[in-house]
């Protein structure tokens, strides 16, 4: 085998190895994800329940997974929720007085805040406020 032929084979093998490595790297980065890999990702299964609580009104501002004590710092009415982990949803309204069921305060206000248990099956509290008690990031 000539030197030129060996060089072509070596170049071809190196190119094939580079393609395999690139494909493996892309597969690892671009594969589908079923979670956000955050504490908040577990809350998204409760989104239909939170939407139903605000009667399908308003635009979703954000979702947070926080302890009740953290929520109560910005919203004293949430103090009875204690230190349990909550999924908190914020919707931008406006909302009239009494428009959100069992909301304390009942409104009127710009935002509806809905606290759901960490399992996502029960609405624990709802609030209508003019200022958000937590920082919600755009989704």
Residues 74-92 have pLDDT tens digits of: 999 999 999 999 999 999 9
Q: What does pTM read for this prediction?
A: 0.70
Q: Which of 84, 97, 99, 93 has its CA nearest to residue 111?
A: 93
Q: According to the model, what pLDDT value does residue 32 have?
A: 45
pLDDT (tens digit per residue) in 96-109: 998 998 898 888 99
Determine phi and psi for 80, rounding to 5 degrees: -60, -15
Predicted pLDDT of residue 2: 75
Q: How many residues comprise the chain?
A: 139
Average pLDDT per run of 10 along the chain, which is 139 residues long? 73 60 54 50 89 94 93 94 94 92 89 92 94 79
State yes or no: cis peptide before 105, omega within 30 of 0.
yes
The domain segmentation of the chain, as residue ranges, is 1-32, 39-129
* 8 A C-beta contact, residue 122 and residue 52: no
Model pLDDT, residue 34: 43
Q: What percent of the chain has pLDDT over 70?
A: 76
């Amino acid at each position: 085998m000539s030197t030129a032929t060996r060089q072509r084979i070596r170049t071809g093998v190196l190119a094939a190895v580079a393609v395999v490595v690139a494909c493996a790297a892309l597969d690892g980065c671009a594969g589908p994800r079923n979670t956000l890999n955050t504490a908040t990702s577990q809350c998204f299964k409760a989104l239909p329940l939170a939407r139903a609580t605000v009667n399908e009104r308003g635009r979703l501002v954000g979702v947070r997974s926080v302890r009740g004590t953290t929520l109560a710092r910005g919203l004293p009415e949430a103090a009875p929720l204690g230190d349990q982990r909550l999924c908190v949803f914020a919707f931008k309204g406006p909302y009239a007085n009494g428009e959100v069921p069992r909301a304390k305060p009942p409104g009127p206000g710009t935002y509806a805040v809905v606290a759901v248990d960490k399992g996502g099956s029960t609405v624990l509290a709802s609030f209508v406020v003019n200022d958000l008690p937590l920082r919600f990031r755009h989704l």
